[in-house]
Structure 1
Amino acid sequence: MAHNTQTLPDEPVIRDAASVAINAPLLQLPAWKEYQLILFRIAFIFFIALSVPNSVEWYQQLVQLDWARLNYRDLYDIARFGSGINFLGNTIFGSSLLGYANWITTALIATAGGLVWTGIVKVRKLPRKEYYTAWYWLRVVVRYRAGIGIIGFGFTKLLPVQMPYPSFGILNTNFGDLTAQKIYWLSIGIVPWYQIFAGVVEVAAGTLLFFRKTTTLGSILLFAALGDIVYVNFAYDGGVHVYSSYFVLLAALLLVNDVPKIYRLLVQERFTVPVNYYPVFPERWQRYTRIGLKSATIFLFLGVLFYLQLINFLYDPYKQPSVAGVKELRGNYQVTEFRLNDQVIPYSPVDTVRWQEATFENWSTFTYRVNKPHPLDLSNGGGDPQRDVNRTFEITGLAGGQRAFHYYADEVNKVLYLEDKYKPIPDRRNRTAGVGGDGGVVVDVAAEKAAREEAAKSAKDWIPAAARKNIGDESLKIAPIALSARRAKDYAAAPAWENRKRFTVKYSTGDGSHVILTGVDENKNSIYVVLDRIDRKYTLTPSTLQAGKY
């Protein structure tokens, strides 16, 4: 086998011509032991399966991308996909094993495949002494898979939108009414510069993995950073333990060769010379192809994705609504008077009907609190919804009777059309992402379809046509630079009728300090509510780095 050897004082490198037969011996490198050959065959099948998208929807979405009108989520979904062998399902004996069942299934099939591979080699009497070339290419696949994936993950922290700064409604929620997951996410969200630091670490790790000479540094950084995320997700029930574990696993594979050398150098304090094998590309087209693919990957996932994520941060943060709320209404209010069906209900902290306090956010969300339990949304509010009504970070992990409604404002007639942000059957999210992580929720698609069909029987537009005209097209109510084909498609696909609680109120106010709401609530009761704005003081200093333009 044609080859050349180059020895440097700090990093001996053995290169093999890529055009030579793969089963030719590499005399400069030691032969592998039998168990190493078997383990490699198993690992090759396992990690290739974990590095390739396993969802038909991922490929469909890739083909259908409008590259002229990209949304940040388009490239993020290329980097974030479900993997592993899942044709047997994502459970073992009916259990998802906290989301790891797919890994176990893949490992079992990879083990069987590796043993069959070994048997075929022995039957054909074509023994192998090593798999250095195949091992190199497996590392390349894993390097780029991990690098692209963690860069997509890291940009949502580098430009802090993954863990948003808390809204008024969240700040007004009692600490004891927050889930453990919510407490952790908010503890990061209130320190955006720390979130940015975490993003720098993740993006740096991914960038280092794009280059062979810095792969070890990138792998160490990735293993340490994501290992911490695995821990906190188990500790606080964060919901992305599987996805973060995924990167730890990929980083561990990339460190397999280096751990013994690092141990020898740093622990045993012995002279250590690392030896790395890289194939040579003798043909010009091979070199140009390699450089071209690498350059395109870096440009797309470091350049274009950063730009799209910046646009998302500035104008359309994915976890909070993007449409501005009515300016004169924004702020915290005390409920001075509350009438239900013309009956005055005096304030009582234990009353299950009367609103206790209300808030109009900077965006188009209205919240109020009432002393009555309601179903909890236990997701992390992530995913890929484009419609503001489906962006639910404001309600996820919140108890204590906190209600949140998205509103459409007819500012000509001063009417608000409100619909509950909580849905009994949530929309499916992260369609290409597989099970586990990033805010995706497993939805009973059949139940969702049945609910829509039932609601459609009495379907009619709950907002009059004249009001619709005054309200305008919500999909266009962000900066033009942030408009995308994905946003337009999501709004166009919105069902004409959804199973949500709704109500309508007229509002009257001068400067917003005193607001009167009159209308009919979601239970068809007439309401008359007087709100007086209060300047609520928070211990938390307002952040100067918040996403969105309102």
Structure 2
Amino acid sequence: MVTEAPITQQRSGWKTYEKITFWSFFAYAILTAIPFNPSFYQQDFGKSFSTTDYPWRYLDVLSQNNPWFFLNADGKNYIGWLITLAGCFVLGTIWTIFDRNRRTYRTVTYWFFTLVRYSLALRMSWFAIAKVLPVQMPFPTISQLNTPLGNFTPGKLYWLTTGVSPIFEVFAGLFELVATILVLFRATTTLGALMMVAILVPIWFVNIGYDAGVELTSLHILLLALILLARDRHRFYDLLIRHRPALIPEIALPHFSYGWQEVARLVLKTGFILVFLIYRGYEYSRVYAAGKTFKLPMTEGIAQFTGYYDVSSFAINHQQHPYSPKDSVRWQNVVFEKFNTISIERPGAAALNTENKSRTTEYYGNVGRLYYGYEVDTDEQILTLRNRVDTAQKITLAYKQPTSTTFELAGITESRDSLHVTLTKVDKHYPLQDKKVSWFK
């Protein structure tokens, strides 16, 4: 069992408001560490992933638990977050009343900061390793390289410009990873929390300024880092304001009555590091080595199809549509990605989608192109296209390749119109890609 260190009969010395604040944030830390939100368990854990091939998907889901319950619709759910905080303060007030005779807070303080430290490390380890092995923010796809700048939202543009520079992404990830590791050890928790604050303040403002989609998540993680620093608030005041020497000690370890408890603590700590840092890093390195990312489809496309194609001719219901930049029916150009996506530029074709999830980065935050996942029957020369946004929409096309640079497609559209298209491959070069600098590729 865990016992308190020997104490006198004096009270803890905490004021009532300090006790309420402590227990309130203890409740918040528990909600952060343990998913109580029913929607967490209702989600499809294997969505957009094969959990057989990528079992680490379950680790990622655990790392993305949010403590807010209400109006949990997007990355700006401030109302839900504030309601959750208010609920925690109600719980903290009630617990303070029932726990008013406590004489020392040494043991519960240790467990509180341990819970916050590991919740913070759990969340940040995902972001850190996904940047160190840059699989979070991919380099722009061929489709995105051929999308006008004005067709992107600011948030999508920020993600793309970060993905353009893998070196910057890796550097940011290393900084986050060092801070995460420091937070895992009691002696370096304060330094790690300071680094976290330095990281998360600009991230929060970037998310606000660019409407990048995870501003509340970044604020939540920032709050966890500030909670760790709150322990030393008086010492920081002495050091920074009063210019007096201040010793910042490590978080006190409670007295363990039995030897197995200390062994269990070390085993659990080692297990956390092995699973969420080392094993996760190994799995992410496999993803990166295979040329994959979290944001783009995992399925390989047909290598010989990959590239940008001009639409030489376009006929629907046997009626030719000559090129016109304002024609909302005619395809302007077609891109076959290296993964199994075909994108089609068609003016006004796609509504703006701002739901940034694991496999939506192709159509999230931009308009002007339709995105389809494709399957190929090379024997029968049949392409089956499924709309990435609405997979119920399907187009079946017969294809021919008269030459190495031309493609002929014929079939029926979703609206049951006949379609005949001739594509001509264009060898395009992109300065953004030609000047790409990376330590890896």
TM-score, structure 1 normalization: 0.72
User: How do 1:309-320 residues align onto structure 2 when only pairs under 5 Å count?
Assistant: 309-315=284-290, 316-320=292-296
Task: Return 5+ residue gaps in structure 1 as ranges.
Answer: 1-16, 384-390, 424-497
Matched position secondary structure for 1:505? strand
Matched position secondary structure for 1:278? coil
User: Is 2:265 the counterpart of 1:290?
Assistant: yes
Give the match for residue 434 of structure 1.
none
**Contact kept? 2:75, 2:213, Cα under 8 Å:** no
TM-score, structure 2 normalization: 0.89
Which of residues 90, 102, 117 is equivalent to 2:80? 102
Q: Assess, with a 3 A threshold, how the Cα gap between structure 1 residues 516 and 421 changes in structure 2: closer, same or farther.
A: same
User: Is 2:100 the counterpart of 1:113?
Assistant: no
The percentage of aligned residue pairs carrying the same residue is 31
User: How do 1:48-87 residues align onto structure 2 when only pairs under 5 Å count?
Assistant: 48-56=30-38, 71-84=55-68, 86=69
User: How do 1:27-176 residues align onto structure 2 when only pairs under 5 Å count?
Assistant: 31-56=13-38, 71-84=55-68, 86=69, 89-90=70-71, 98-121=76-99, 126=101, 128-176=102-150
**Contact kept? 1:204, 1:218, Cα under 8 Å:** yes
**Residues 425-466 of structure 1: per-residue CA shift (max 9 Å, x gap):** xxxxxxxxxxxxxxxxxxxxxxxxxxxxxxxxxxxxxxxxxx
Q: Shift of residue 544 of structure 1?
A: 6.8
Partner Cα separation in structure 1 for residue 326 and residue 234 of structure 2:
64
**Contact kept? 1:54, 1:82, Cα under 8 Å:** no
Q: Shift of residue 97 of structure 1?
A: 10
Partner Cα separation in structure 1 for residue 242 and residue 225 of structure 2:
23
Give the match for residue 205 of structure 1.
179
Which of residues 384, 404, 420 is equivalent to 2:371? 404
**Contact kept? 1:58, 1:78, Cα under 8 Å:** no
Partner Cα separation in structure 1 for residue 125 and residue 31 of structure 2:
21
Q: Assess, with a 3 A threshold, how the Cα gap between structure 1 residues 285 and 355 changes in structure 2: closer, same or farther.
A: same
Q: Assess, with a 3 A threshold, how the Cα gap between structure 1 residues 19 and 68 changes in structure 2: closer, same or farther.
A: farther
**Contact kept? 2:12, 2:105, Cα under 8 Å:** no
Amino acid at match of 1:392: T
**Residues 323-361 of structure 1: per-residue CA shift (max 9 Å, x gap):** 222222211111111122222221111122211111111
Q: Shift of residue 118 of structure 1?
A: 3.3
Q: Assess, with a 3 A threshold, how the Cα gap between structure 1 residues 409 and 121 changes in structure 2: closer, same or farther.
A: closer
Matched position secondary structure for 1:46? helix
**Contact kept? 2:345, 2:370, Cα under 8 Å:** yes
Task: Return 5+ residue gaps in structure 2 as ranges.
Answer: none
Partner Cα separation in structure 2 for residue 71 and residue 293 of structure 1:
21
Give the match for residue 328 of structure 2.
352
Q: Assess, with a 3 A threshold, how the Cα gap between structure 1 residues 379 and 90 changes in structure 2: closer, same or farther.
A: closer
Matched position secondary structure for 2:247? coil
Which of residues 307, 322, 325 is equivalent to 1:331? 307
Q: Shift of residue 237 of structure 1?
A: 1.2
Give the match for residue 393 of structure 1.
361
Amino acid at match of 1:394: E
User: How do 1:415-430 residues align onto structure 2 when only pairs under 5 Å count?
Assistant: 415-423=382-390
Partner Cα separation in structure 2 for residue 226 and residue 18 of structure 1:
35
Q: Shift of residue 183 of structure 1?
A: 0.7
Q: Assess, with a 3 A threshold, how the Cα gap between structure 1 residues 46 and 74 changes in structure 2: closer, same or farther.
A: closer
Q: Assess, with a 3 A threshold, how the Cα gap between structure 1 residues 370 and 394 changes in structure 2: closer, same or farther.
A: same
**Contact kept? 2:353, 2:364, Cα under 8 Å:** yes
**Residues 287-328 of structure 1: per-residue CA shift (max 9 Å, x gap):** 111111111111111111111122222334321122222222
Give the match for residue 444 of structure 1.
none
Q: Assess, with a 3 A threshold, how the Cα gap between structure 1 residues 343 and 20 changes in structure 2: closer, same or farther.
A: closer
Partner Cα separation in structure 2 for residue 333 and residue 540 of structure 1:
19
Q: Shift of residue 60 of structure 1?
A: 8.9
RMSD over aligned CA atoms reads 3.0
User: Is 2:424 the counterpart of 1:529?
Assistant: no
